[in-house]
Amino acid sequence: MVSMKIKKWLLDVLKGASLGLGMIPGVSAGTMALITGIYKRLIGGISELFRNFKKSFFSLLPLGIGAVISVLAIMIGIHYGFHYAPVAIVSLFAGIVLGFSPLIMKEVKNQKKTAKPILIMIISAIFAALIGILSVLSKFYWNLDLEDAFRKGEWWVYIAVFASGFIAAAACIVPGISGSMILFIFGLYTPILNVFLGEGSMFHNHERIGSGIGILCSLLIGIALGFLLTSKAMKRLLEKHHDRTFDVVIGFVFGSVISMFFNQEMVVLLDNVPHLVYETTKAWEWIVAIILLIASFIACFVISKKIIKTETISTTLEQQPKKHSLIDNF
């Protein structure tokens, strides 16, 4: 009995680790929760945390432990990947975003094909693309250097990190949207990573310990409040305005692909790539980038289609009337 509980608990930790994949821009923690079968449990546990704290806490604990372990491991991998081959890494992320797009597009397959949803998608896509473009313009025309602001611990950085964490957490609740992608297109993904990893991190530069802890607290508080305050609201929004909500989401996802390649963060990353390494491998990186883009798109597209097929079969079985045996008539 005890061994079964331990096995179940360890399995929950592994399922929680899949949520940590949401650290990868383009991978939705909500999608991972759907794949592993913990989506309803996750949303239910978060929304009931204040009403039934003990039960919700212990239900979410193993998932949280797994997610934290996974996040730390992925952070290290992404940090070094961005340092040496940013174009290839972003191409991988873009392929993931596009590959998982059928999961959100299926949500509006039954809506009427009119101009209104298409217009909403276009406006949302333009908005997402403009986020990245404006972040680049802010660096060159308004001298707003996010990396430098993080190093100096400017007061507004904490507000920006809190707001981004809040928005990212709210985005995670919707399957198909990646919270880390939100941070990336806002240009905050790498600066946040650099606070904790690398030569300029708070662990190597003790002068950054205070600002590093402040940034971490701002991010965690933003994420926690984002989950707690938006889970019920997002649930109602999806119930009452399902199609319009997903019209906005679909447009934002496709527009964000542009922002992933063209934002202040990518400009800084390309400037900081070790020149000897980058110049000798530039052609190879573009080849690798194209291969990763195609491979990640195909892999995620196949996974998406399998998930949709499984959901369709489950829905069909649930809608079928139960067959009564002769015993049921007595």
User: What's the pLDDT at 200?
Assistant: 67
User: What's the pLDDT at 111?
Assistant: 80
Instruction: Give the Cβ contact number of residue 148 at 10 Å.
Output: 13
pLDDT in tens, 31-63: 677 777 787 788 778 777 778 888 888 888 888
User: What's the pLDDT at 314?
Assistant: 57
User: What's the pLDDT at 259?
Assistant: 85
Residues 6 or more apart in contact with residue 108 via CB below 8 angstroms:
117, 243, 246, 247, 250
Mean pLDDT across 259-273: 70
In this prediction, residue 324 has a pLDDT band, given cuts at 50, 70 and 90, of: very low
Q: Which of 186, 216, 183 is nearest to 202 (CA)?
A: 216
What CA–CA distance (Å, rounded) separates 257 from 241?
A: 25
Q: Which of 70, 85, 103 is nearest to 174 (CA)?
A: 103
Q: Quick check: 221 pLDDT over 90?
A: yes
In this prediction, residue 186 has a pLDDT band, given cuts at 50, 70 and 90, of: confident
At 65 the three-state DSSP class reads helix
At 253 the three-state DSSP class reads helix
| Prediction pTM value | 0.71
In this prediction, residue 295 has a pLDDT band, given cuts at 50, 70 and 90, of: very high
The DSSP code for 206 is G
Q: What type of residue is 60?
A: L
What CA–CA distance (Å, rounded) separates 103 from 188?
A: 26
User: What's the pLDDT at 120?
Assistant: 92
Mean pLDDT across 16-34: 76
pLDDT in tens, 100-138: 888 888 888 888 878 889 999 999 999 988 888 887 787
Residue 328 is encoded by which pair of tokens?
């049921």
Q: What type of residue is 302?
A: V
Tell me the average pLDDT of the chain.
Answer: 78
Q: Which of 36, 26, 94, 44 is nearest to 67 (CA)?
A: 36
Mean pLDDT across 193-218: 78
Q: Quick check: 261 pLDDT over 80?
A: yes
Q: Quick check: 1 pLDDT over 70?
A: no
Instruction: Give the Cβ contact number of residue 311 at 10 Å.
Output: 13
User: What's the pLDDT at 330?
Assistant: 32
User: What's the pLDDT at 318?
Assistant: 54
Instruction: Give the Cβ contact number of residue 212 at 10 Å.
Output: 21
Q: Quick check: 269 pLDDT over 70?
A: no
